[in-house]
Chain A
């Protein structure tokens, strides 16, 4: 078997993996290796040809390829190494190694000082949400269609219904329209938009595409190719109102119904998974329950913006490098992060206390949209950080920074409270 030694090995060469590699190099790791299954670096951003990336990090609006291009350039400049067309089959943390396979090198064992998981996420499917009906051709997840249209020069259909108003769904509505398809409507189960308002304006309104909020697809029809879908409004319990079902003719249905962190390797390696995020539990170093294994990006929790992924991943890379160089701060205690009112999950889930003080940002998503609120972090009854928020929305991540020196108890609660 082919053997490689490195300081930090990173599984995945998308935005998370690239930023982690750069972070690790900049921290002083000598040999940093990315293992990527695709034939190029960039991950899903290769097919995200639309703008909207980089506003936070680069203060300009970039397309997906431009955004990851900057990271690829920087990684190459720093001498980050990478293997393409290589799939990791297992993570063996006890021996600090990963096994991967490629046509070029065959079975390869990579020994590393630390391992960073950056495998990203995958899309929920029609089957995950149990949409009844037939199983014809013409049903795609929005991302699969995006890959075909943008990267493989293949048009998936002519008359399209999209389920889910997340950003990918809306962006595909625009994309399909520009390529000459008729997008009949976008159907959204919730009573509010799942993605950003700007995408509604620029991807739906601009093209006259109706948005059906509080509706769902109740049935798929067609034996060979899809011939149409039945769409019905839903009541407050999200149960379809059968009497108001209507048939919408189409030859294609795109499902944009959520993303799930892809943690097959993580699970197989016995790393603790958080049931809410479906990603590994991490501390502020992005370190998992296994000390030598770090994780970042959508494999940990589905981020709203690639900018946030890069920030978090740079951190993972930095601390993975420190771990490999045996410089990671010694823990003097663990604080558990607890979700309070209207907080669905927190990332990181744990904070390691160490000598001195450190600012740690706790990222989270809310359960329900709210206006005029305060984000509060508390140790017991003591408020250690708070900030105002005009609006919170499940589709967008929020964060609050806390000072580790102020952590007086072994738990910290983050909650969203109504402003008086």
Chain B
């Protein structure tokens, strides 16, 4: 039987951030996840924004964690080599009614300890963002709202945790949690039983099912679907900041912002649903994005879309972000309601959980040889000519462009496959190096990436998945 100190259930942003934080100490940690890659659910399908918490409900744990997390990013993205930019957000008021709401929004930001929100006139906003609705009357500027590569963030946290001794059991489903005398004893998984003192339920969408295993499901996860458009890098109408809508009583509205890689992101919808599996887009949903975002950016050209996707935010009923530990179940930590702010607060949640574990008796000794840094895949397309020459001299596969839309080389794809917690599926390659993330959506590079994956994992192409088990890419050969 595997034996450890802490089992983290879920390798999303929060699970990986907790694992990395724990890896700073002399503690044995195992992360389990049902998917074959880290960051497989909510952490991959979101708006990729690092929030300030200006609009959180003041006084809540969520407010506290988001506000604390934002400043942590500057150092972490440097240490872990994660694409990140502090581009700032604007909140334009188009109608008088919206304009009248600005003071209250600013005051709420103040109560959330976000003091750097500024008022801007309509002219100032149009100068910052020429494609804004010319009717704009004024608005707020929230300078520390930022954008990030959410895939790389999770991978980087996981890889770094792994480099510091955390074990990852992927393709592993938790089937039960054994307790004894009001204490956690072990976690039963499809990869065997793991004896442990602490269990952290960071299972996101499925956290109620895990909680059920220990009789602590006093809430239900309500999946809130968000549909998005991604627009071509060449799209005619672009924005340089995160353009946020002023929320109404009915809806929080749709935003438009650049992604860290230069595409435009437009969305999301907010649709509560029963199913945790249904991540489909719908005509109605996509059309509602078009209608809403045109109020902010009238000339947005959604026909220049290269993809649409939807993600499920793991909301809960009763609502709100919850951190729970129980007197009658020692060693068990339950996180729930980790919703749209989850990506942002993953870093502070890591700190929070570790501190709470310490309060609850986990002995914490700093690891002397903690490796703080993690290097990402070298991006050939972002190098200077001289650097590119040098890369090819050292490894000729940097001269073989596989993804022509994003200029991704074979060397980068091999790096994605062979680094720790490396890519096994098409999407795992895509989320690491962006091969297939461009305008042809893998039309050209897909067949080549498939061939490379099969070659590197020494398997048949029919064994390569798009992402999860069962998502086989091809059915076999045409000629034996």
Interface residues in chain A, defined as those with a beta carbon under 8 Å from any beta carbon in chain B = 1, 37, 85, 87, 89, 99, 101-107, 122-123, 125-128, 130, 132-138, 140-141, 143-144, 147-149, 152-158, 179, 218-221, 223-225, 251, 264, 267
Contact = CB atoms under 8 A, between A and B. Distances in A.
15 contacts: A37-B401, A101-B401, A102-B400, A106-B389, A127-B308, A134-B279, A137-B426, A137-B466, A141-B443, A148-B450, A153-B477, A154-B450, A154-B476, A155-B474, A218-B283
Nearest to A152: B447
B282 interface: yes
Given A87-B401, A106-B389, A135-B309, A154 B474 contact: yes
Contacts of B397: 103
B306 A103 contact: no
Contacts of A127: 305-308, 441
Nearest to A150: B478
A105 B282 CA distance: 48
Interface string B466-478: 1111111111111
A130 B307 CA distance: 8
A106 B407 contact: no
Given A107-B388, A127-B306, A141-B443, A135 B469 contact: no
A122 B443 contact: yes
B234 A267 contact: yes
B111 interface: no
Contacts of A136: 466, 471
B465 A137 contact: yes
Of the listed residues B283, B451, B465, B469, the one surrounded by the most CB atoms of chain A closer than 10 A to its CB is B283
B207 to A, nearest CB: 20
Contacts of B476: 154-155
B399 A101 contact: yes
Interface of B: 234, 277-283, 285-286, 305-309, 385, 388-389, 392-393, 396-401, 404-405, 407, 426, 439-444, 446-447, 450-451, 461, 465-479
Contacts of B440: 122-123, 125
A155 B475 contact: yes
Given A136-B466, A153-B477, A223-B277, A144 B283 contact: no
A143 B280 contact: no
Contacts of A87: 401, 404, 407
Nearest to A148: B447
A223 B279 contact: yes
A106 B399 contact: yes
A130 B475 contact: no
Contacts of B279: 134-135, 223
Given A137-B471, A137-B473, A153 B234 contact: no
Contact of A144 (B277, B286, B401, B446): B446
Given A127-B308, A152-B451, A132 B466 contact: no
A141 B444 CA distance: 9
A85 B385 CA distance: 19
B475 A157 contact: yes
A352 B466 CA distance: 51
Contact of B286 (A85, A132, A154, A179): A132
Contacts of B278: 134
B280 A1 contact: no
B436 to A, nearest CB: 11
B354 to A, nearest CB: 35
A194 to B, nearest CB: 19
B385 A130 contact: no
B392 A137 contact: no
Contact of A1 (B389, B407, B478): B389
B471 A225 contact: yes
A122 B441 CA distance: 11
Shortest beta-carbon contacts, A-B, top 8: A224-B470, A137-B466, A103-B399, A103-B396, A224-B471, A87-B401, A137-B471, A127-B307
Given A87-B404, A132-B282, A137 B478 contact: no
A154 B461 contact: yes
B235 to A, nearest CB: 12
Contacts of A156: 473-475
A273 to B, nearest CB: 10
Contacts of B285: 132
Nearest to B45: A135
A133 B282 CA distance: 6
A155 B185 CA distance: 48
B305 A144 contact: no
Given A136-B471, A267-B234, A143 B388 contact: no
Contacts of A101: 388, 392, 399, 401
Contacts of A132: 280-283, 285-286, 308
Contacts of B472: 137, 224-225
B471 A85 contact: no
A187 B305 CA distance: 22
A147 B477 CA distance: 13
B392 A103 contact: yes
Contacts of B388: 101, 107
A147 B305 contact: no
B396 to A, nearest CB: 4
B229 to A, nearest CB: 8
Contacts of B465: 137, 224
A410 B93 CA distance: 49
Contacts of B306: 125, 127-128
B277 to A, nearest CB: 6
Contacts of A104: 396, 399
A122 B475 contact: no
